[in-house]
Chain A
Amino acid sequence: MPDPAAVPPALPPADRLQRAFAAEIAAAVAKYPAGRQASAVLDLLYLAQAAYGRITTEAIEEVAAVLEMDPTQVRGVVGFYSLFKEEPHGRFVIHYCTDLPCALRGADAFLPRVCRAFGVPGPGETSPDGLFSVEEAMCLAACDRAPMMQVNLSYFHDLTDERLDGIVAALKAKAAAGEAVGPPFGFGSVRGVAEGVPSVEAPS
């Protein structure tokens, strides 16, 4: 009878997350008391989004396996938050606010021009070159300077056609220069991972 302690656990079905971010996972889990590792699910989902590029079924199953949760519970978390992307998306995700206060400042009328500037057929879609995805957001807490948008983690206010063109050109240049354009989102313990994300400051 072999020593039970020496027995390796069953191979997880997928391990891209664990291969990429072993230390970050340990740090995230360590933030919570023993047995409460499931509390780290948001951290791990951001890491998984970085490792897999988006939240795939494999990513969910791996997070569930690491945190000893059921995939259904993890799935429920993913579905609740709009920054977890289950669909393929561009390198730059543009959240454009069309909620009521912004709309009063003309944001909804400006939306088609935003889409056109990024070369995106319409909200919720991705440009053919795979660089930009434009999504409508319900509130980004910057109504006073609408129309505004969030590109990955950076805010751009008081948009006009000219400013849009400048931003698009700058982003395209960044991508063309081969700068590490990583996953678009990351928080908390994941911040270190998201360093490579282009942080485009508003040219003001």
Chain B
Amino acid sequence: MATNGSAPKLVNVMIDGRPAAVGAGTNVVDAAHAAGVEIPIFCHHPKLVPVGMCRMCLVEVGTPGVDPATKAPILDDEGAPVIKYFPKLMAGCTTVVSEGMHVRTGTPAVAEAREAVLEFLLTSHPLDCPVCDKGGECPLQNLTMRYGPGRSRFVWGEKFHYPKPVPVGPLIALDRERCVLCARCIRFEDEIADDQVLGFENRGRGMEIVSFSDPPLDSVFSGNTTDVCPVGALTTADFRFESRVWELESRPAVCPHCAVGCNIGYDTRHGRVLRVMPREHDAVNEIWLCDKGRFGHGFTTAEGRLTHPLVRDISGALVATTWDDALTRVAEALKRTVAEGGPAAVGGVAGATLTNEDAYAFGRFLRAVVGTNNVDHRPKVIADDSVHRFGAGADTIVHALGAGHAIVVVGLDAEAEAPVLFLSLNKARRQGAALITLSTAPQKLDRHASHLRAVPGSEATLLAALVRAALEAEYEPVDGASVPSGALPNAAVPNAAVPSAAARVLADRLADHGPAAVHGVHPVDPDAVAQAGKALASAGGVLWIYGRSAVDAGLVPLMAAYAAATGQHGRAGTGLVAVGRHANAQGVADMGLTPDRLPGHARVDDAAARERLADVWPSLPSSEPGLDAGAMLAGGVQALYVLGTDPVGDDPALDLRANGVRTLIVQDLYLTPTAAQADIVLPAQSAAERDGTFTSLLRRVQRTYAAVDPVGHARADWKVLRDLAARYGDAESFAAPSDVFDEIARAVPAYAGLSYAALGPAIRTAPTDIFLPFAPLTEARSVSYIGTRYENRHGIGAAWLTPAEATYAAGDTAAHEAVAADGGEDAFAGYAVAADDALHAAAGDDLVLIPTAILFDAGRLVASSTVLHPLVPRPFVAFSPFDALQRGLVEGGRVRVTGAGGTFEAEVVVQDGVTPGTALAPESLGIAVRAAVGGERAGRVRVEVVAAGPIERGASPTPAPRPSSSPSTTATVTPGQI
């Protein structure tokens, strides 16, 4: 484990005469792979626990003989140990190597066993490879060609025939004739995804894979089962009979759906994206992908996309025009606004889905060309420089963490907001990391974590109690024994200069907020908080992973204070990680798309940053912070440039015209509700159509490549902004996104030294050139998956270092101490431990409504996918069983929810684990949830029953449906639809 220190003990083995030294505990299959010998496998998968079900890996295994009497090794005449082979063949996947072990894979006995196993596996295989979607990348095909008998003694007419594919889940088709019962899918869902939704039914030849969850195969990771399936039994719904796999052209990319930054490949044919496959990246997504990333590729098609720039004609209708005309109009409108109201009358709001290049070009255009600081992005999870200063170590690999590490997940529904991060967290937890979740709503991660439930409005007091408990456990005497307080367990590197005194100060300041203070406030046991604090104190590293809810609740400064005071940042497995709900939340903040920060998180009045940018930019904006997105949308500017975000769609009540925005320019993929209000609409390119870089939540800058041609006349955002700047006389003419990135490397210190060439091999200069070697990040490189998988040949990106890390890595002690001291006393002064009493004071029948995130939302990216669209649930509100009972709310009924900022109607869902007194409503399902609570993270609402639902709850055994897929939407799936 890269981050866990001690290297495993090595064991010497001999495989087919080739020596290999592998870690103790390695099984024979993986050891053979390390020695360069292939042992064929079906059921074994290096990411899963071996079960030895398929018997394909049978080999001859021998160990050095030992004299039973003397316990001395038996030696032959030449003094070499005599190898005693086991009388029977051993299953390589379940046999662990031992010192001196010999393995033979090429003997007649092994060959015969392999033939027999393959003949047996094929006894009832339909051999319909010509129509099978797996054909061409099928391990069963390949291994049969290589090791199979070439003929079968079984009579064709005695094969089993099942009805052809059944939808085992809404996205996955199961062909039972092809299944070899390796249980890889079952074990993936069980071990990796923590969804026990697949199982075997029946015995012997009647055995088959079934799912009885409701809805079936109730997992947002179901697509991975098709990758691990070594035969064509499980295939995906979206790729069904689309193409043969050898006809596909795979283009590397980074998934644009969430902030994890999963490496993917767009498999295209004739310029169409037909499927999305994971690309291996041991530091990001291993070999996994969530269903949103895999099936949500509908946006790559032309359907509904903007193809031309649109302007208003004399009647006010939007009509197509040329780029030249549209850009001239934009420049004229902006110049006119500046002439009338000064640069501050212009503002820009961007989405967090832009590439770094686009985001940088946007900020550069508004700041350096127009001259305004009214630049912001939404939704915003990185509003300050906490991550920049106290970010997680650049070599942090969440799924490599284990015993000795603590991970605190704050205000984040990992499965809904960053699904593959959920897999990493789950794996870290299995490996022994202490997992603590702190939130106001339940989530799947809570199952095996120490869950601390906060009441909305007072999250800060619970976090303070946790921090206080941790500091207390670290510095207070335990059971009379005194703990050497000066010796912080981890203060050695790299922030040695941070005084442990800082931690004491912080502990003292939080003295009134200890675990005892949560009693009666939060629905959590004070002892549980103290226990969680002890887990933090005893861990070698504490990683804070937080989401938008934590940011809205103002919890970041306190987490940063803890990280700063204890020196727990800037190393692997320590520090802060912000999880935005969009692909490049980290990158757009790095690029300075915030009103008070320049690129690189420097304040707008930071002299050093201004000096640096003066060399790069044609001019500098004022040193006064600009307006944030909320103020701009509320009419703070006269001309608003909206790039890749849809504020009106999120809040249908928002009327930008009425708010005083006179000129509205919108650049987007679709004619969104915001674009429909615009004066000028510019067609943008989707993530699959252009080159660029994304910065992941662990600050890894990764390249993404164009996979398909742009739709219509859509242009890359940076190109549009370059051409706009040219109309202002800006001389800078970027020719390619790499040029923009080169300027980013000059403007943003953390990106210094990065370039397209360093991030990924874009070109091969000679046929002999190999691609950039994949850094051996974990031992997983030495294993073979024998399943559908894509090697990563296009670079692994690079995570940028925080200043504390960078100075330490550079060995610049003085600078490091300066940075560390900067993170000292003032770093933990900014937090507030406030409780919003108004929110949770008892007030009659009101409930506290908490907007939550949902994976399959009604957003355009999901809606554009034909297979995902049916999984988007109808708008619903989840109540606790307690409140449901008290209010007579019945599953499936309808309620009207009225808050300070609006009202909406939704379906009732009764869900275990919801805090009584609160109700959860997912955002982005077409109802104005966030608006109803006045744009806050929670708010008081009144709930009225509109229609009682099905009364007989006891008779209809429907458990509370997972928000991501209600039964009503999946029940309609028939075999014909798959």
Contact = CB atoms under 8 A, between A and B. Distances in A.
Are A and B bound to each other?
yes
Interface of A: 1-2, 4, 7-11, 13-15, 57-58, 60-61, 69-73, 75-76, 78-80
- Among A1, A11, A14, A69, the one with the most B-chain Cβ atoms within 10 Å of its Cβ is A1
A69 B196 contact: yes
A17 to B, nearest CB: 12
A76 to B, nearest CB: 4
B200 A79 contact: yes
Contacts of A57: 212, 957
A8 B912 CA distance: 10
A75 B199 contact: yes
Given A1-B917, A58-B957, A72-B210, A9 B881 contact: yes
Interface in B905-950: 910-912, 915-917
A61 B958 CA distance: 10
B959 A75 contact: no
Interface in B174-212: 195-203, 210-212
The 7 closest A-B pairs by CB, nearest first: A13-B957, A79-B201, A70-B196, A76-B199, A4-B523, A10-B881, A72-B199
B312 interface: no
Nearest to B960: A10
A67 B202 CA distance: 21
22 contacts: A1-B521, A1-B917, A2-B917, A7-B881, A10-B910, A10-B911, A11-B881, A13-B953, A13-B954, A13-B957, A13-B958, A14-B957, A58-B957, A70-B195, A72-B196, A72-B211, A72-B213, A73-B199, A75-B210, A76-B199, A79-B201, A79-B210
Nearest to A3: B523
A185 B453 CA distance: 45
A9 B199 contact: no
Contacts, number: 84
Contact of B956 (A13, A69, A79): A13
A126 to B, nearest CB: 21
A70 B959 CA distance: 12
B835 to A, nearest CB: 12
Contacts of A75: 199, 201, 210, 212
Judged by DSSP, the binding face of B is loop
A1 B522 CA distance: 8
Given A73-B199, A75-B199, A10 B956 contact: no
Interface in B511-553: 521, 523
B442 to A, nearest CB: 12
Given A13-B959, A14-B957, 12 more contacts: A1-B523, A1-B840, A7-B882, A7-B916, A9-B881, A10-B911, A60-B212, A61-B959, A70-B196, A71-B212, A73-B196, A76-B200
A61 B214 CA distance: 10
A72 B197 contact: yes
A71 B213 contact: yes
A14 B959 CA distance: 10
B196 A10 contact: no
B546 to A, nearest CB: 24
A70 B915 contact: no
Contacts of B566: none
Contact of B885 (A8, A15, A58, A80): A8
B169 to A, nearest CB: 11
Given A72-B211, A76-B200, A61 B881 contact: no
Contacts of B954: 11, 13-15
Contacts of A4: 453, 523, 915-916
A191 to B, nearest CB: 25
Contacts of B210: 72, 75-76, 79
A69 B910 CA distance: 20
Contacts of B910: 10
Given A2-B882, A57-B957, A10 B912 contact: yes
Nearest to B206: A79
B455 interface: yes
A15 B954 CA distance: 8
A69 B196 CA distance: 8
Interface in B421-464: 453, 455
A35 to B, nearest CB: 12
A13 B523 CA distance: 26
A8 to B, nearest CB: 6
Contacts of A11: 881, 953-954
B500 interface: no
A16 to B, nearest CB: 10
Contact of B202 (A8, A13, A58, A80): A80
A170 to B, nearest CB: 33
- Among B211, B910, B953, B957, the one with the most A-chain Cβ atoms within 10 Å of its Cβ is B957
A15 B953 CA distance: 12
Interface string B228-241: 00000000000000
A190 to B, nearest CB: 22
Interface string B149-162: 00000000000000
Contacts of B953: 11, 13
Nearest to A81: B203
A109 B881 CA distance: 59
Contacts of B214: 71
Contacts of B200: 76, 79-80
A80 B203 contact: yes
A74 B210 CA distance: 11
A175 to B, nearest CB: 30
B880 interface: yes
A2 B520 CA distance: 9
Interface string B939-978: 0000000000000011011111000000000000000000
A12 to B, nearest CB: 8
